[in-house]
Structure formats: C-alpha cells, structure tokens
Amino acid sequence: MNTDGPGEHPIIDWGWAGAGLDGGESGDAHVVLPFHGGVLVGLVDGLGHGPEAATAAKATVALLRSHAPESLPSLVERCHAGLRKTRGVVISLAALRSRDSSLTWIGVGNVDAVLLRARRSAESRDEALTTRGGVVGFQLPPLRESTLSVSSGDTLIMATDGIRAGFSSGLAIHKGPQELAESILVRDARGTDDAHVLVARYVGGGALSHDIRARVVIRHDFDIVAARLRARELGLQQGLAEGAVVAMATAVTEVARNILVHAGTGEILLGVADDGGKRGVVVVALDEGPGIPDIARAMQDGYSTANGLGLGLPGAKRLMDEFDIVSLVGGGTEVTMRKWGQ
C-alpha cells in the first residue's frame, strides 16, 4: 500500500550532476516532479550562461512546479508565455507513467535525451529522443509529444549542451543513476558552458513489465460484465489454470464495481505480465473519483461499499497474487493487481 508523493511510491530512481561555467551560478536546472501515477522529469538550459540564464531557468522550474500534471505541450506553452521577458530557455521534458509503463517526451532546442534499455531487443532499442528547434520564450516549434514503452531498468539520460554529444556511449550502465550522472559530468563536460546531467531509471512495476491488451471503460453495470469477460479471455490465453482465471475475473468484477460505486466512471486496463518467463495477467483499475482518505480502513474486511454487497477491495486482494493501491484524495484511485500462471 502506498500513497503518492516524493519517495513514497517511486517509479524512478534518479540522480543529477551539474556545474556552472568557471564555478559560477549555473543557468541549467532540472526538475523531478511526482504526480498521480507518474513523474515529470525535465532539464532546462537558460540561453547562454551567467545570472540572466539562471533567472530564465529558475522561472521555468517555478512554472513547471505549478503545473506538473498537465500535458507536456501545455507545460511548454505555459513556459513560453511566462518566459517572454527573459532571454528564454531550451528544454526537454519527459513524463513516466506506471499504469501503462510509458515514457512521453517533448523537446524544444538542444537538450539531448537518450533512453538506454535494460534489456535490448528488436522492439526495445536504445533511443535518442528527438527534439525540435526553437527557444521557449522566443519561438516555439509545433508542439507534439511522442511516446515509448519502458520496462523496469530502462534509463533516461538528459544532458545540456555543456556536455559533449556521445555522452551515452561506454557507460557502466549497471551503476546507480547518481553515480552515472557524476561520471558523465566528469568525463564529458566541455568546459565552455554550464553543464548539467539528469539520470532517471524507470523502476515502475518492480522487476516486471506489462503490455496492455484491452481497455474497458466502466460507466454502467454491464461494463463490469464486459471487463470480467475480457479478463477471463486473457487469463485463458495466458495459460492460467481455470481456478486462477475464475479468481482473477472475480477480482476484476470487484475493482470494477468499486469504480462504479465510488467514482461513477473509470477504466479497467488488462495486460499481459511477464516476469522473465513467468506469464500472467496484470489488471489496472483507474478512476478520477474522490480518492480514498483512509486506505488502511478501506482494506479491512467488512468495510462496506456503498451498497454493502460483494467482496470489496480486500476480497480482490485475496484473490490475486499481487495487489497495490495508490489513492489521492481529490485525485482518483489506481489499483494494480497481478495473477501469475504456473
């Protein structure tokens, strides 16, 4: 059980290193801002260096802090509007989300970002994240975000142009993010500009990854039935035993009913879970309802739903192999459950 907040429900491990030119105040800055179900990471380079660059970077950080849960294009627009009186910044922003193991990013100007994979395959290559030319606060390119799937252990590295291109090659990737950031700064700082590195390693879902295969919107009673049927179908496809399929489908019914009763609407995501050969089903139940003020109480047996029927969340937990709940009062609830095959 977790509630969201820095350090309490981390989906990344991260570290940074940076230095202003000639030991002066740096015009580069990073942000790491958790939001419900994810975290926003970003690296900002105030144009040039020195105090005016630092002023632009600090203003950007303040704007991002105030608006972190918004979409990335909207954040860039806000910064653009708020930075017109500064000399402007270049920026890369990325949002990592645990519910669908995704990384969404946008970049304006040259803050380099690369995604290094923990396990490489044809579908999962190292990627340089593309950015578009422009200066936030002066001239924006068309703003479009891009999305990639991430797996636990994948590592995002962002660096300002005070760091040499090619900083991602020859890294001891098994090292922790803080150690990586420091070693890049030492090895690759050009010494002609402020230099700053941010390293974020995705750890959402533990040592597991999942692919979402079905999405069922919950608005009516019959949507609960649809979610149950899709869960059953996926369980059988994944080779779960009949008893496990029944347990999992029943747990899906419970979390779907919980959405309907407490939030009115929400959705159930059903996916394939893979833990290095072991196959299973992952169920994510999401809503943007009022949230649960006291999760410990809600997880006690006998704590009734509005109509007092059913097994509730504690019942769902008992039926599954793994169960995690994150809830934010006023911000919705996210339940993630897994059922494994033999």
Using the minimum distance from each CB to Mn ion, give the nearer residue, 195 or 251. 195
> Residue 184's closest CA among 45, 48, 176, 192?
176
Using the minimum distance from each CB to Mn ion, give the nearer residue, 26 or 155. 26
CA distance 193 to 195: 6
Least separation, in Å, of the C-beta of 21 and Mn ion? Answer: 9
Using the minimum distance from each CB to Mn ion, give the nearer residue, 102 or 110. 110
> Residue 334's closest CA among 235, 245, 259, 231?
259
Least separation, in Å, of the C-beta of 130 and Mn ion? Answer: 19
Least separation, in Å, of the C-beta of 127 and Mn ion? Answer: 23
Using the minimum distance from each CB to Mn ion, give the nearer residue, 4 or 193. 193
Long-range contacts of 241-250 (CB under 8 A, 24+ apart): 241/341, 241/342, 244/339, 244/341, 247/319, 247/320, 247/339, 248/281, 248/283, 248/319, 248/320, 248/339, 250/311, 250/315, 250/316, 250/319
**Residues in the site for Mn ion, rule: CB under 5 A?**
45, 161, 193
Using the minimum distance from each CB to Mn ion, give the nearer residue, 112 or 193. 193
Angle, CA 210 vertex, CA 206 and CA 216 arms, to 5°:
125
Least separation, in Å, of the C-beta of 77 and Mn ion? Answer: 22
Least separation, in Å, of the C-beta of 174 and Mn ion? Answer: 30
